[in-house]
Amino acid sequence: MKKTKAELLKNQDEKYIVGTYKRSDLCLSEGSQAGVKDLEGNEYIDFSSGIGVNSFGFSDEGWVKAITDQACKLQHTSNLYYTEPAVKVARLLVEKSNMSKVFFANSGAEANECAIKTVRKYSNEKYGQHRNEIITLKNSFHGRTMTTITATGQEEYHQFFHPFSEGFFYVEPNNIAELERTISDNTCAIMIELIQGEGGVNSLDHVYVDTIVSICKEKDILLIVDEIQTGIGRTGTFFAFEQFNIQPDLVTVAKGLGGGLPVGAVIFNEKTENVLTFGDHGTTFGGNLIVCAGAAYILESLDEKMLAEINEKSEYIRKELLEMDEVEFVSGLGLMIGIKHKTKSAKEIAETCLQEGLIVLTAKEKVRLLPPLNISWEQLEQGLNILKKVLKG
């Protein structure tokens, strides 16, 4: 029998691309906002945003114009020269975070690498080389480079690739006593996600975060907040740290910042802004003009009005879900939502949703929703109806 386009593509993918991803059978071909079609023309509503990347959904008109206009003018210059889009994005990130300076990377893992280098240099210079230990949380996810998988507090990532980077210690989220026991004179930084994304959409307790902040202040330990999944409006404020009333020393962002193009960034406060100097760090593509033109569009569009709408939509989704007997609880903030079903597994729900025309994610035992930040009420309603039917069914 003649193979479908999707089957042919799948065969070619398996032939030519290393099998590090467990893909579903879906072959997406074109989309607009939260709507997307596969190669066979089947339509889906997307509640995943390419894992929190497509902030404004598929091929948003304004974003496409921003990147294509830039591509027609100048696509890349190297970091040997000054460029307008990078400066604009850096200024916007600084203004929105109330911080000081930015370094551009190309992914979340790279942004975290840069943050890790920075905290080690800060402490090495100030206190000596022994002060290099970093505490991260169990169940965290910080990336796939050698050092960021080491920072990731999950055993399953710490296999096969020995030797791993040294100097990482893991503590149970929300356990203040364990944190206090683990901190030593060698601790230079604590690195946290305020809501663990890959780890299951688990929010940290405010008391715990307050304790971390006060210990960090008292001992001159630097606080890195990984906002790669939570940042850029995802949780209903520009950064999740705003809702915890804290001001970190370093914030890492990526994913939604580019709206669909690869980017990562570290935002530094006054204490850390001048730690890295000439030659300490760099990357060919960091601050790329096209990527930054798209990021500038995202940052400028994400105003108070859009944030208010994100919160309105979030409340609506939560209310609808919490009214269902089948739902045990709902976690997360803004449009980063985790759903725990009383009886069904997240995987089973995600698979059935897909058959019904809705793309959702999973994170550990939860169904995870990361819909486009500007999803229309109509598409939201459409997707939610499918989700509710599947959760009930």
Ligand X SMILES: Cc1ncc(COP(=O)(O)O)c(C=O)c1O
Chain positions contacting ligand X, by CB under 6 A: 107-109, 112, 141-143, 193, 197-198, 226, 228-229, 254
The least CB distance from residue 348 to ligand X, in Å, is 23
* Alpha-carbon gap, residue 103 to 149, rounded angstroms: 21
| Smallest distance from ligand X to CB 140, Å | 7
Closer CB to ligand X, 197 or 287, in the complex: 197
Per-residue CA distances from 226 to 312, 343, 385 (Å): 25, 32, 33
Q: What are φ and ψ of residue 250, in 5° steps? A: -140, 140
Q: Give the CA radius of gyration of the chain.
A: 21
What type of residue is 44? Y
CB 315 within 8 A of CB 292: no
Q: Please say which residue, 60 or 226, places its beta carbon nearer to ligand X.
A: 226
Length of the chain as a residue count: 393
DSSP category for residue 132: -
Q: Give 198 or 273: the residue with its C-beta nearer to ligand X.
A: 198
Report the residue number, 151 or 390, with the smaller CB distance to ligand X.
Answer: 151
- Rounded Cα distance, 230 and 336, in Å: 7
Q: Answer yes or no: are the C-beta atoms of 105 and 118 closer than 8 Å.
A: no
Identify the DSSP state of 244.
Answer: G
What is the smallest separation between the CB atom of 363 and ligand X, expressed in angstroms? 9
For residue 28, the minimal CB distance to ligand X (Å) is 19
Q: Report the alpha-carbon distance of residue 326 to residue 272 in Å, rounded.
A: 47
Q: How far is the CB of 304 from ligand X (least distance, A)?
A: 25
Nearer to ligand X, 229 or 379 (CB): 229
**Of the two residues 104 and 141, which places its CB atom closer to ligand X in the complex?**
141
Nearer Cβ to ligand X (108/334) = 108
Shortest distance in whole angstroms from residue 68 CB to ligand X:
24
User: Are the beta carbons of 253 and 111 closer than 8 angstroms?
Assistant: yes
| Separation between Cα atoms, residue 285 and residue 258, nearest integer Å | 13
CB closest to ligand X, residue no: 108
The CB-of-143 to ligand X minimum distance in angstroms stands at 4
Query: Which residues on adjacent β-strands are paired with residue 195?
Result: 203
What three-state secondary structure class fits 330?
strand
Nearer to ligand X, 70 or 229 (CB): 229
> Least distance to ligand X from the beta carbon of 251, Å?
12
Determine the 3-state secondary structure of 197 from DSSP: coil
